[in-house]
Chain A
Amino acid sequence: MSVAVRGVRNALRNKTRSVAVLLVLAVAIGLTLSMLVAGEAVAGKLAALRDDMDTTITVRPGFGPEVDVEDVPTLGEAELAAVSDLPHVTEASATVSAMLETPQPEEEPEGTSSAVQIGPGASFGTTDLKSGMDPDTVGAPEGVAFPISLTGVTGDRDSEGVRYDLVEGELPDGAREAVISDKIAEANGLGLGDTFTAFDEEFEVVGVAESGDDFDSVGVVMTAETVRELSEVEGFHSFAIDVDDPDHIASVQEAVVAELGAAFEVHSQADSVMQASAGLETVEDITSVGFWVSLGSAAVIVFFTLAMTVRERRREVGVIKAIGGTDRGVIAQFGVEAVVLVSLATVLGMGVAAASSDVIADVLVATNSTAAEDTDGGQTLSGTGGKTIRVTGPGQTIEGGGDLIGEVTAGIGPRTIGVGALAALGIALLGSAVPAYLIARVRPAEVLRGE
């Protein structure tokens, strides 16, 4: 009978106690694994959140109480160059907005105004295009002609900082080139190479962009230079600033405010995501503390169990030493005993973890992300006393923090089983260390002392 077999047998020698210790240990190891699994799930979610996170900052003129509507500040080439040069800014682009009016039908319905409020500073031009919007979808009376938004761009982003999604063709480059939304293309029967007029000039369709579900958020896109020339606008209406890393959004946002002054709305999705992340980071911290605490408890349980066993079997240890057994042999025997105990407990613990990790992750996430869920997504940082007006248009609502988190699912995979096995071994070794020391200290001469 080998050291290993004796170790295994000894682990099960006192059945009642073995079962009791096993159960307690299984719970501790189960919690350890649950914490690990929950922590991993949360970490995965955090990484996904950050990966998905829009790292664009948008800048638009502010309309706060301190800013006179008549005196809307301008964003010019100099400002664009300045924000482009800020650290951690990978790219900055600008847009100019104008509106195109479709010729009105002859009989204008009673009481309906075709004047749609779109905000200050917008210039109107005429076009032969029909809006792609179906009056039905917005509940407008039949025959209403919607104006078409015209955006001049220096880059590939719209005034909300969202990248254009081209169905075909490319973004305008020349002065008489334009991209139209797929809705306009359909409503007007236009395709690549076809032409239309705007501001009494003829434009060639060089691209068609996806415009979203109900509304036409694309309209017509030209180069910024062209739109400025046609609408006689100076400067730009918005900037979209790309930041290299989600971690730098906040600092760049502050730098932009410092650079441009208080008269602009400097907006990013970062705050809501960061807030959601902060909740998750707290959960991550809790799970990692929980992991170590439960791992520690498991080690302590093993330690006390073995220490108790060594005390009980002190005489036996002395006898084995007296008849020629080595310290190493005896320690190995107790080590095997610990490994057997911990392995059985780990198998049970995996069951505990499977049952509890999802619940633990859910509860922790739920109790730590309420703050994030209360926010309405986009946070605005501006110097206008906090009373900012949001120019977020329909179809452009930003997801709330709570929605951002969504579901965190924890599951037991082969990795957990592997880590579990390692943790078990670690616990066994950790918990055996002091008992091993006690064993080494047993003097074989003790067996000669009668009692």
Chain B
Amino acid sequence: MLLVEDVAKRFKSGGGAVDAVDGVSFEIATGTFAAIVGRSGSGKSTLLGLLGALDSPSAGKITMDDVDVTALSPRGQVAYRRDRIGFVFQQYHLIPDLTAVQNVMLPMEFAGRRTAERRARAVELLDRVGLTGGKQTRLPGRLSGGEQQRVSVARALANRPSLILADEPTGNLDSRNGKRIITLLREFAGGGTTVVVVTHDRGLASRADLTLAMNDGRIVHRKSKT
């Protein structure tokens, strides 16, 4: 269960301040495939960063299962991101000089897993996202956008996270590849894993269990399938 209570994030810029997230409260049940939609600049990425402990809110409280995310120390935030969160970014953000397998192994290295175990799981995850054979040992530069994003999904799954956060994962992909990624993410939701996807795409959002619409840092609309 992901519980967000009255969360706000204010950025000071120049003379004034921007309330990127402005008093947001919601709750997402474990295993849900949730979508956050809204115009550019409405605060979606900022909210996602707060959920993933990439940043701390200016006010409010975020609870993930039994963890008070907003009370974590910097070290605690690192461990939380490593053990509980899987990120997927619009620009993939793979490490350019590591092969696909090595990229997927990286979070497991941070978690202190043994090399053999890391490699085996990385190969298995890449197989599951559909990147097989020789492509697994290619550098990201030699993979297509869709393939890179699939590597990035595999990387997000590496440490068996309870929350996958994807920020516009289809933004750089054509619709066919975009669909594939959404289908993948959909597949991984359920059981103990919650997936939150930020997207512009109303069509993709329609496949979510829960849709939150943001505007000017607030949730202006919520729609649940159940």
Contact = CB atoms under 8 A, between A and B. Distances in A.
Interface in B68-92: 75, 78-79, 81-83, 87, 89-91
B136 to A, nearest CB: 14
A1 B78 contact: no
A425 to B, nearest CB: 25
Contacts of A315: 93
A441 interface: no
Given A13-B97, A319-B95, A323-B155, A448 B107 contact: no
A297 to B, nearest CB: 29
B54 to A, nearest CB: 4
Interface string B148-163: 0000000100010000
Contact of B109 (A2, A443, A449, A450): A2
B111 interface: yes
A245 to B, nearest CB: 59
B45 interface: yes
A324 B54 contact: no
B59 interface: no
Contacts of A157: none
A10 B91 contact: no
Given A315-B93, A323-B155, A324-B107, A448 B81 contact: no
B78 A321 contact: yes
How extensive is the interface on chain B, given as a class? 20 to 34
Interface string A289-331: 0000000000000000000000000011001111111100100
A450 B90 contact: yes
A115 interface: no
B26 interface: no
Contacts of B91: 450
| Candidate in B97, B102, B111 with the most chain A CB atoms within 10 angstroms | B97
B55 A443 contact: yes
A325 B110 contact: yes
B78 A324 contact: yes
Interface in B104-118: 105-107, 109-111
Nearest to B94: A319
B111 A316 contact: no
B155 A448 contact: no
Contacts of A444: 54-55, 81
Given A10-B97, A13-B97, A444-B54, A323 B48 contact: no
A13 B171 CA distance: 29
Given A324-B82, A324-B159, A445 B49 contact: yes
A144 interface: no
A190 interface: no
A9 interface: yes
A324 B49 contact: no
Contact of A316 (B45, B87, B95, B110): B95
Given A9-B97, A324-B110, A447 B89 contact: yes
B167 interface: yes
Interface in B125-166: 155, 159
B184 interface: no
B97 A448 contact: no
A447 B93 contact: yes
Nearest to A450: B90
Nearest to A318: B93
Nearest to B90: A450
The DSSP consensus for interface residues of chain A is: helix
A330 to B, nearest CB: 11
Interface residues of A, number: 24
B98 interface: yes
B109 A323 contact: no
B151 to A, nearest CB: 13
Contacts of B52: 322
Contacts of A443: 54-55
Interface string B175-190: 0000000000000000
Contacts of A1: 98, 102, 105, 109
Given A1-B102, A323-B81, A323-B82, A445 B54 contact: yes
Nearest to B172: A450
Contacts of A319: 89, 93, 95
B95 A324 contact: no
Contacts of A13: 97
A324 B83 contact: yes
Contacts of B45: 448-450
Nearest to B198: A448
Contacts of B168: 450
B102 A322 contact: no
B134 to A, nearest CB: 19
B123 to A, nearest CB: 15
A141 B168 CA distance: 115
B85 to A, nearest CB: 8
B48 A448 contact: yes
Interface in A60-115: none
Contact of B110 (A10, A329, A447, A449): A329
B52 to A, nearest CB: 8
Interface of A: 1-2, 6, 9-10, 13, 315-316, 319-326, 329, 443-445, 447-450
Interface of B: 45-46, 48-49, 52, 54-55, 75, 78-79, 81-83, 87, 89-91, 93, 95-98, 102, 105-107, 109-111, 155, 159, 167-168, 171
